């Protein structure tokens, strides 16, 4: 089956810093989503981005489907950005496969 790898596994930032999270996948995908899991365990949709670039406030994402990777950019990080960031892919079936996540901690 498809492999989804995220890097880095852990990231500590000072408030105000920028960061880039990466998601590599081993096969063609129909769909890629980025999620933020907050400290209460809720999965928040960030982007549905099978290809191209999208922006939402301080967050933006780019997926290069032909090269099988996606990037999530966080600018001017805030303490509320802390949590785990997951990418999840669908290869045309019914299941969505999650990566192991990047655990982000933003220090005040």
Q: Shortest Cβ distance from residue 15 to other proteins (Å)?
A: 25
| Nearest CB to other proteins, comparing residues 38 and 80 | 38
Residues shown for the chain: 108
Q: Shortest Cβ distance from residue 31 to other proteins (Å)?
A: 3
| Nearest CB to other proteins, comparing residues 35 and 77 | 35
Distance, CA of 38 to chain centre: 13
Q: Shortest Cβ distance from residue 91 to other proteins (Å)?
A: 8
Footprint on this chain of other proteins (rule: CB under 8 A):
29-31, 33, 35, 41-43, 45, 48, 50, 86, 88-101
CB 105 within 8 A of CB 49: no
For residue 80, is it left (φ>0), alpha (ψ between -120 and 50) or beta? alpha
Instruction: Determine phi and psi for 5, rounding to 5 degrees.
Output: -120, 130
| Nearest CB to other proteins, comparing residues 69 and 75 | 69
């Amino acid at each position: 089956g498809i492999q989804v790898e995220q890097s880095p596994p852990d990231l500590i930032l000072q408030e105000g810093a920028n960061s880039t999270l990466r998601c590599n996948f081993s096969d063609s995908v129909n769909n890629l989503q980025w999620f933020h899991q907050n400290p209460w365990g809720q999965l928040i949709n960030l982007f549905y981005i099978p290809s191209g670039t999208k922006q939402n406030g301080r967050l933006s994402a780019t997926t290069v489907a032909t090269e099988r990777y996606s990037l999530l950019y966080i600018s001017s990080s805030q303490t509320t950005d802390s949590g785990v960031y997951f990418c999840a892919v669908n290869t045309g079936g019914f299941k969505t496969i999650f990566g192991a996540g990047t655990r982000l901690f933003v220090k005040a």
